[in-house]
Structure 1
Amino acid sequence: MRYTFFITVFMLLQLFSTGAALSLQWWLAPWSTFISKVAVWVIVFAITNILLALSVKRAFANSYRWVSMWMLIMHFIMLTALVISIFYGGYWLLSSFTSVGSMQSIRLEVGLRVLALFTFIGLFVYALYSAYVPVVRELRIQIDKHLSHPLRLALASDLHIGRLFGNRAIDKLHKLLIDNRADILLMPGDIMDDNTQAFNDYNMAANLAKLCAAVPYGVYATLGNHDLYGHEQSISEALREAGVQLLNDEVLRIEHKGDPLWLVGRFDNHKSQRVATTDLLAQTDMAEPIILLDHRPSDIMEHSQLPIDLQVSGHTHNGQVFPANFIVNAINRIGYGYETINQGHFVVSSGYGFWGIPFRLGSRAEIWLITLTGNK
């Protein structure tokens, strides 16, 4: 499996390098020579494979971020070329019906290259904005169980707290919860970005503790795959000390204005031995509202056959960068969004943070504000 993953990444990087080199050749065409054309290919492939080798050797901390960043740059170069090719096609279609002078043709060639530069910069700015400026998605759900008062439930998955996503992001989430009068916050996994080093270095515990204290009915979380990559204990301790109540293969009965409510939390399936959902539900009163926190949305169809009123998940990031959103939606029953299946309601968030590098395209940082109502 490990070798298969490496070969897949290697082949993808070579494919991206080919596309990026061809796109750059077009952009440099008016000023290029044979030597410069060769140089483009050599430089692009050299950067790709040197970064890949350094990442495999783990020559420096977070080397995968550099590979990811370079891959994103190449991806945006190719997307830019795709956009410009549409304008290019329009130009050739127009020129086939009208007479276009040589001077006009030169101006258009230069104009298209200027447009390509601004398109490339625009993609970066927009992707950065989408990663750091979250949107609040509101949803109203009615369940067929007793709830005498509406519950305002906030969902923030996949924070990936680390060096690139820290105190400002926590404070912004704090403000969003207050502004939207959230009663409770659920965080279904990937709270930390692999470890607690940045969390400790920048004293994020104080900011997270203030957030937890501001939520009237508490903050509840489960651990995702990135929380289980060798630092489960330190991550769990840091979250609990800040006031987060972890539900790792556990159930908890709480009350909201006199109404009982069951919270069920599952370990991510990266944990080789985790409790089955049916065993966890056996510990609840199934006549009362049940909310499940499950990091991955991979078991949604099985859970739709169980007496679960609401499941909240994350993990997919809605692909994070286009066109990966099509892939996650193809391999999951719900790769992103909200759907009702049988009597259950299922929400899969794209996440409040991001993985690896701070860019999103075709995906947006978000929290969900779910107003849960029932029978009175």
Structure 2
Amino acid sequence: MRIRMVLSITLVFAIIFGLNGYIGWHGQVFLTNQLGSWFHPGIYWVVFWIVALSYLLAWAGSKVLPAGMKMVLKVVGSYWFALMQFGFLLLPLTDLAAGVLHLASVPAATFTPILGWIDVVIIVLVMIRGSYNARSPIVRKYEITIPKQAGDWEQLRIAVASDIHLGSIVGNRHLRKLVKHVNGLKPDLILLPGDVIDDDIRPFIRYDMGTTMRELQAPLGIYAVLGNHEYIGGHIPAFIEQMDKIGIRVLMDETVHIQDRLYLVGRKDKAAERTAEGRRALASLLEGTNLGQPIIVMDHQPYHLDKAEAAGADVMLSGHTHRGQISPNHLITRRLFELDWGYLKKGNLHAIVSSGFGTWGPPVRLGSRSEIIELIIHFKSNERKEE
């Protein structure tokens, strides 16, 4: 097992270094053409590798680097992740075009600057659009009916924001947009299905994000669950403490009976299965509940919809996938999950997966948007047919 892990890590680093070297070589060819004798390969490669490995440098030096330097490295490295993916997709096409032009006897001195500037313009435009998608959240509305009664409630309005990823990259500015949009919906209930923070709790505390988050308002309360990034960061007790201070209850394999009308189940993230405590099966969390009342489940990673439906859940709210965040990564998430984004009715279960409000790594989205879910649930008795 350890050998397999070492081989996997070695392969990942080989791919990262190989891809960066490929991108760096193209940069050298382009800059040599543009700058001529002014270009110094040695200086170029030193700067290039510092930029290319800045995220890893921030991670490796997390305990010794000053907070400001670590943040700069992380921000630069995050954007570089996006550039690396764009380069992986774009540069082979550039090489193909260069090969065709070479076969057509077009001088390299002619097509190299043209192809280079085309690449630069495309990458700049894509980065601008991707940054807009990431920083301009939308509200996506779903309206469903559950054939159960919830006391005298006819409907319930829920605001859902998954994958906020508060930290060095996503901070108070983006968080204020969340507060504005969510409070503008006037929700009865606010749910945060995991990855509220981006690994490290310290930026959340340092930049006093709790004060901003405290402005969220819902008469039935605000509830959250853990995502895989809370587990990766390893600051779960501190995270729960920070949430408690601002009136957000973190459910850890817990079921809450809200005003004796509906059940809210908050599951530990799937990452908990690798810990000593583990996580309980959903069926066990629903033992003793009145299955005749509506049951809403928050589970960060959208696995096992069939088990949620079999256990009696009416609604399952998830995130995690970001819908790939940067296209065409959605083709991968679509293969990994039965539902990687959007809405699916599976038996009596209404499953909703959000692309998330924040971003992991680069604050860039292509083929996805930063979103808040407005979920309106209508209740009615079992005797009436669903419209």
Q: TM-score normalized by structure 1?
A: 0.83
Report the Cα distance in structure 1 between the residues aligned to 2:76 and 2:114, rounded to whole angstroms. 32
| 1:204-219 equivalent positions in 2, closer than 5 A | 204-211=209-216, 214-219=217-222
2:364 maps to 1:367: no
Report the Cα distance in structure 1 between the residues aligned to 2:111 and 2:155, rounded to whole angstroms. 59
2:144 maps to 1:141: yes
Q: CA deviation at 1:286?
A: 0.8
Q: CA deviation at 1:76?
A: 2.5
Partner SS state of residue 355, structure 1:
coil
| 1:284-295 equivalent positions in 2, closer than 5 A | 284-295=289-300
User: Which of 355, 372, 386 matches 1:350?
Assistant: 355
Contact 2:82 2:362 in 1 (8 A): no
Report the Cα distance in structure 2 between the residues aligned to 1:18 and 1:140, rounded to whole angstroms. 49
Report the Cα distance in structure 2 between the residues aligned to 1:23 and 1:131, rounded to whole angstroms. 28
Name 2:335's counterpart in structure 1.
Answer: 330
2:83 maps to 1:73: yes
| 1:1-376 equivalent positions in 2, closer than 5 A | 2-21=5-24, 23-24=26-27, 27=30, 31=34, 46-47=49-50, 48=52, 52=56, 55-56=59-60, 60=65, 61=70, 67-81=77-91, 112-147=115-150, 148-211=153-216, 214-228=217-231, 229-255=233-259, 260-271=261-272, 272=275, 273-376=278-381
Q: CA deviation at 1:303?
A: 1.6
Give, as a single letter, the amino acid of the residue that structure 1 aligns with 2:82.
L
Which shifted more, 56-65 or 301-310? Answer: 56-65
1:85-114 CA-to-partner distances (Å, cap 9, x unmatched) read 89x59x97xxx9xxxxx99x9988755544
Q: CA deviation at 1:260?
A: 0.8
Q: CA deviation at 1:321?
A: 2.1
Which shifted more, 61-70 or 350-359? Answer: 61-70
Report the Cα distance in structure 2 between the residues aligned to 1:166 and 1:18, rounded to whole angstroms. 32
Contact 2:79 2:363 in 1 (8 A): no
Give, as a single letter, the amino acid of the residue that structure 2 aligns with 1:76.
F
Q: CA deviation at 1:51?
A: 6.7
Cα RMSD (Å): 3.5
**Structure 2 vs 1, CA of residues 341 and 15 (structure 1 numbering), >3 Å: closer, same or farther?**
farther
Gaps of 5+ in 2: 382-387
**Structure 2 vs 1, CA of residues 29 and 337 (structure 1 numbering), >3 Å: closer, same or farther?**
farther
Contact 2:54 2:77 in 1 (8 A): no
**Structure 2 vs 1, CA of residues 41 and 19 (structure 1 numbering), >3 Å: closer, same or farther?**
farther
Which shifted more, 20-29 or 259-268? Answer: 20-29
Percent of paired sites with the same residue: 30
Which shifted more, 233-242 or 173-182? Answer: 173-182
Report the Cα distance in structure 2 between the residues aligned to 1:238 and 1:51, rounded to whole angstroms. 26
Contact 1:17 1:44 in 2 (8 A): no
Gaps of 5+ in 1: 97-101
Q: CA deviation at 1:220?
A: 0.8
Q: TM-score normalized by structure 2?
A: 0.81
Q: CA deviation at 1:218?
A: 1.3
